[in-house]
Homo-oligomer: A and B are copies of this chain.
Amino acid sequence: MTKRVLNVPGIAYGGDYNPEQWPEEVWAEDVRLMGEAGVTMVSVGIFSWALLEPAEGVYDFSRMDKILDLLHAGGIAADLATPTAAPPAWFFRKHPEALPVDKDGRRLSYGSRQTFCPSSPAYREAALRIAGALGERYADHPAVVMWHVHNEYGCHNAECYCDESAAAFRRWLRTRYADDLAALNHAWGTTFWSQWYYDWDEIIPPRATGAVPNPTHQLDWRRFCSDELLSLYEAERDVLRKAAPSLPATTNFMVMYNFDALDYWRWAPELDVVSNDHYLRSTDPESEIDIALSGDLMRSLAGGPWLLMEHSTGAVNWQPVNRAKNAGELRRNALAHVARGADGIAYFQWRAAKAGAEQWHSAMLPHAGTDSQIWRDVVQLGADLKALAEVRGSTGAAEVAIVWDWDARWALELPSQPSEMVRHLDLVRSWYEPLWRSGVAVDFVRPDADLSSYRLVLAPSLYLVDDASTANLTAFAERGGTLAVGFHSGMVDENCHVRLGGYPGAFREALGVRTDELFPLLPGEKVGLGGDATATLWSERVHLEGAEAVASYTDGPLAGVPAVTRNSHGTGTTWYVSTRPDPDTLAALLDRMRAEAGVRPVRVTPEGVEAVLRRGENADYLFLINHGDRDAEVEVTADATDLLAGKPVEGGTVTVRAGHVVVAREPRG
């Protein structure tokens, strides 16, 4: 599929723009201040359904006409949204059955946003109608450069358990199992607990039941829920594409720590431009790592540059306590996103709301107005992004890949596991962190991805894996690569069936080990790994079947049992890490793997200075972000240019001031 391209120059800059919240006299000031800040594109109409369609099939485009004209006159491009994330009250009064039902059978009410059933025919019809009307009216408006389809699919309504959803689930299952009910019964293991289905109509969503529901039933449900929303996206996109064949379409993903409802590997190919919403968690003392990880995952999903569609200039309003950003953090955050491949930076929202549910969410133009630190930072960032225009289109290049898979994440985090403390993202981040600290570039890959460009492939947490992906990963090692696998990986196949004969099932042979029993560790429990090294969370009775022990358990019931192993497999090497080592120990292990695999960091920097490389056609762009409180010196090529300062670097060394960022253009060849 050819992707349509976003026609905005350089690094796009802007935010969600909700002028409906303000009297018209404010709009002109908005456009003037956008100019002052260097804003180039804003997203409009995200929550405008109630105003655009005051009654079914009756449209009022007058306000939107004015807004788009004003923006265009001010030289600001518009990313025009379909407002389908928040249907109006009149819609729900007419279609109460389109309100979602939770696991407990409780039907929710309207009154906030995103409270509709994804499988509702009435909703789908209404959504495509308003999308069609917008497409028709604004396809040729000169301000409009992209369609912003919906908003944050699945943010509040990823799952609906109503009867219409049940019917849609059955249709999806019939497709998945090719109308073969016996195949479903086999896949779900319904001989257990008397769950055998004799009729498709017997199947319902995994609603609240007395005991633990069937795991494969739950896993298929999660797959269905992701696909169901995807089909809504595709339907809206197709309506818009018909009206405006050359305009690109996007929808904003939520690749951040706590959101896991959608399988973005399946979504990304359907978008012309891949974009993301990312917010910091106030309780994360190193949220720069979350930005980097999310950014690497976004770049991997997009297969190149992407857009940051929402983040915040300061505190958000939906966490228990909402931390403001520290001095320079707004700028560091934004440029870190660019470093990881963002070709546009946008915020929720342009002007801080005075009313409504998000009145305490920060914005580009705060309640305090332009005499504020945030506004000054916003203006500064506009200038920075302008200086980085040439970075657009450049992308990353990594020798290390981390395997990431939503199926595996969902399956792992189902109930009735050996330990509910084992969480996919925690494990991935624990392996990602030492790489980040060392300045090593990382891609994320699907388990069935082409791995030929990597030296080191890590699977920190791959509980579920099918046979083809198993073969793909082990073949990578066989052909000379280094593959490292974390505990509780390879355990089940695509139907959540345990792979028999010993753990870690799928990878046993390639790793040269065999575990006969799992020993999860209790909260607070710790085991020694020799010297000062310790581990938590998990342990297992590993037997060597070809591998060598790199570290062993030194106390507890498994004293003397191998904990970390290394094996030769084909012409390559495989590692198994059967526990969660303390950070220093894990870092040392990854250092050794890297060293052996010949993986080098992007640049060696003083502690606290993040180094990221974007590769352009003729030059590399080296991003140096100083998270520490001391100025740092970093070597660059002799002909490098400091883009933000707008001048050549003297003497092959740049000073990255504490809390600041340097972007050095290093010409290639």
Residue numbers of A with Cβ under 8 A of B are 18, 20-21, 47-51, 54-55, 83, 86-90, 93, 100, 104-115, 155-157, 188-199, 201-204, 206-217, 282-283, 314-315, 317-318, 320-324, 326-327, 352-360, 366-369, 371-374, 416-421, 492, 495-498, 500-503, 514-523, 541, 557
- Whole-angstrom CA separation of A93 from B108 in the bound complex: 25
Cβ-neighbour of A358 out of B55, B105, B416 (below 8 A) = B416
B356 x A189 contact (CB < 8 A) = yes
B516 x A195 contact (CB < 8 A) = no
- A196-B50, A209-B108 known; A516 vs B366 contact (CB < 8 Å): yes
A108 x B496 contact (CB < 8 A) = no
A113 → chain B closest CB, angstroms: 4
Copies in the complex: 3
Contact residues in B for A324 (Cβ distance below 8 Å): 517-520, 557
Contact residues in B for A47 (Cβ distance below 8 Å): 192-194
A369 x B318 contact (CB < 8 A) = no
Contact residues in B for A20 (Cβ distance below 8 Å): 191-192
A465 → chain B closest CB, angstroms: 15
- Whole-angstrom CA separation of A194 from B356 in the bound complex: 11
Contact residues in B for A104 (Cβ distance below 8 Å): 106
Closest B residue, CB atoms, query A314: B517
B90 x A202 contact (CB < 8 A) = yes
Closest 4 CB pairs of A and B: A189-B355, A192-B356, A115-B210, A156-B210
- A315-B518, A420-B321, A557-B327 known; A501 vs B368 contact (CB < 8 Å): yes
Closest B residue, CB atoms, query A285: B522
A516 x B357 contact (CB < 8 A) = no
A646 → chain B closest CB, angstroms: 29
- Whole-angstrom CA separation of A518 from B86 in the bound complex: 30
- A115-B209, A500-B369, A522-B321 known; A417 vs B196 contact (CB < 8 Å): no
- Whole-angstrom CA separation of A518 from B367 in the bound complex: 11
Cβ-neighbour of A55 out of B50, B51, B198 (below 8 A) = B198
Q: Using A93-B199, A112-B211, A113-B194 as known contacts, list a sample of 19 further A-B pairs with CB atoms less than 8 Å apart, ordered by residue number in A.
A: A89-B197, A105-B106, A108-B209, A113-B193, A156-B211, A189-B359, A192-B353, A213-B357, A321-B523, A324-B518, A324-B519, A324-B520, A326-B557, A327-B557, A352-B498, A360-B418, A366-B516, A368-B502, A368-B517
A268 → chain B closest CB, angstroms: 25
A505 → chain B closest CB, angstroms: 8
- A192-B356, A317-B418 known; A114 vs B211 contact (CB < 8 Å): yes
Contact residues in B for A208 (Cβ distance below 8 Å): 106, 108-109
A419 x B321 contact (CB < 8 A) = yes
A-B contact pairs, 24 of them (CB 8 A): A18-B191, A47-B194, A49-B194, A50-B194, A89-B195, A108-B209, A111-B195, A111-B204, A112-B209, A188-B356, A189-B355, A190-B356, A191-B356, A282-B522, A283-B522, A315-B518, A317-B416, A320-B419, A320-B421, A321-B418, A359-B492, A359-B496, A369-B502, A374-B517
- Whole-angstrom CA separation of A217 from B111 in the bound complex: 9
B421 x A354 contact (CB < 8 A) = no
Contact residues in B for A522 (Cβ distance below 8 Å): 282-283, 321, 323
B188 x A355 contact (CB < 8 A) = yes
- A105-B107, A111-B195, A194-B113 known; A21 vs B189 contact (CB < 8 Å): yes
B354 x A501 contact (CB < 8 A) = no
Contact residues in B for A90 (Cβ distance below 8 Å): 198-199, 202
- A47-B194, A106-B104, A369-B502 known; A93 vs B202 contact (CB < 8 Å): yes
A359 x B106 contact (CB < 8 A) = no
A501 x B367 contact (CB < 8 A) = yes
- Whole-angstrom CA separation of A211 from B116 in the bound complex: 11
Contact residues in B for A517 (Cβ distance below 8 Å): 314, 324, 366, 368, 372-374
A504 → chain B closest CB, angstroms: 11
A164 → chain B closest CB, angstroms: 16
